[in-house]
Amino acid sequence: MKISTNLKALGVATTMLTGFVLGGSVTAYADEPESKPVGGTYDSNAIIQFEAASGVITPPTDPTNPGKEDPDNPGEPELVNPIDPTKPPGEDPEKGTFGPLSIDYASGLDFGTQEITSTNQYYKAKPQKFSNRTPAEGPNYVQVSDSRGTEAGWSLQVKQNGQFKSTTDKVLTGAEIRFTNGSVASASASPFPSNFEDNFALTFNEDGTGVAKTIMSAKTGEGSGTYLLVFGDDKSAADSIELFVPGSTTKYADKYTTSITWTLTDVPGIGE
C-alpha cells in the first residue's frame, strides 16, 4: 500500500514536472512581442449624389456677364429683370419653361413706330431693357438651361409664326426679321455649344408657315449649365436685330404683330 501510494504520488509529480518543462520550453523559444505604434492613421469616406432638377424655373441672367456675382448674396449669380416691350407697362415677361432642360427667357422685339414710305427700309429692334441693371439697356437674347447632369447635348430652334399682320389682318408682305452679331455667353465650366448661328433670318415656306431653324446646339459632352445666345453687346445692341420691309409693300396706319416660337429639344447637335 505504501509503495502503491508512492508510485501514484510520483506519477503526479512526474506529470507536473513534465508540464513545467514543456511550458518552460515554449516560453524560452517564443518571439518577443513587437511594440505597437502610438496614434496611427484611418481613412473615412464622404459621399454626395446629384439628380436632375425638376419643377424649377431658371431666372434670366445678365446677357453680357452671366457669371456676375450678386453683391447681396455671395456665391449666387446676380439676376436681372428684363422688360418685355410687347406687353403692357408693368406686366412681367412670359415665365420660362419647367424642368431640367428649359428655355428660361427670350427677348420680345420692338421695332418702334415708323413713318410709311415707298422705299426699302431696315428698322432696328430696340435694345433689351432691364428694371434693375446698369446700364438699363443691353442686347436682346435667348437663354436656355440644361440641368439634367448628363452632358447629353441639346438643340435650340426658332421660327416665326406667320407674317406680320395688322389688327385688320393686313399682311406686311415680304417683311423679314434678321439677327446679327450673335455670340454665346455662359458662366458654366462645361464646354460651350460648338454650333451656333451668329447671323440668320426668319424665313417662310411656300404655304406661309415659318421655317424652323436650328440656331444653337450642344453636342454630346457639351452644354451643361445655362447658356445665352446674345445679339450684340451693350454698345451694339441697337444695331444687331433688324426688320427689312420692302418699299413695294403696302403699309396701313395700324399696328402689325407676329409671334416667334423658340423650341428646345434633347436632340444633340451634330459635329462640324
Exposure pattern of 246-271 as b/e (b: 16+ CB <10 Å)? eeeeebeeeebebebebebeeebbee
For residue 26, pLDDT over 70 is answered with no
Q: What are phi and psi of 26, to 5 degrees?
A: -60, -45
pLDDT of 12 strictly over 50: no
d(CA 142, CA 164): 21
The pTM (predicted TM-score) of the whole model is 0.82
Q: What confidence tens digit (pLDDT) does each residue in 147-163 have?
A: 999 999 999 999 999 99
Q: How many of the other CB atoms lie within 10 Å of CB of 129? A: 17
- How far is residue 191's CA from residue 193's CA, in Å, rounded to a whole number? 7
Classified as helix, coil or strand, 142 is strand
Digit-coded pLDDT (tens) for 221-237: 999 999 999 999 999 99
Helix (H) or strand (E) holding 28: helix 2-29
Phi and psi at 120, nearest 5°, equal -60, 135
Is the pLDDT reported for residue 27 higher than 80?
no
- For residue range 31-81, list pLDDT tens digits in order: 556 677 788 889 999 988 878 877 778 999 999 999 888 888 887 888 899
Element (H, E) at 241: strand 241-245
Give the number of other CB atoms < 10 A from CB of residue 33: 6
CB within 8 A of 57, min separation 6: which ones? 95, 96, 97, 98, 102, 104
**What is the tens place of the pLDDT at every residue in 105-136?**
999 999 999 999 999 999 999 999 999 999 99
> How many C-beta atoms lie closer than 10 Å to residue 102's C-beta?
20
